Structure 1
Amino acid sequence: MKKIIVHGLRPEFNELITAIRGWAKAPMLEELENTLANQEALDKQLPKDSVNDEEALFRKKNDVGARSL
């Protein structure tokens, strides 16, 4: 059942699943459900930015490089 849940998650949860896989003891089904529900609630509280992290880092790097010219 846990495998079905994990494989059906949206890509936004990949980092969380990677972290859970690193746990010393695999979570029980109820723990997994609670962790995913908590993460989803947290994601809903965070403001959505139209620029992803990778793009922001790229822009910042280019801004620094342009200033040094």
Structure 2
Amino acid sequence: MTSMNEISDKRKSQLRCLNCFTRFEPAEKATEVKCPKCEMEWRITWPANDSVKIRGPVWSTVK
């Protein structure tokens, strides 16, 4: 059985697309990512060693 701490630690390194809500894991230290489901592109930041946050969309690719 997976503990809540293990789930929480795993989710720190994952993003949830703000367009389609798919959860995915970006490449480590990437600054831009594309959602594998809806292909929306996001700017991201790494405020802590293993946590990642979406900063906003990549405006040049928004249609």
TM-score, with length taken from structure 2: 0.26
Structure with more strand by fraction: 2
Structure with more helix by fraction: 1
Larger Rg computed on CA atoms: 1
TM-score, with length taken from structure 1: 0.24
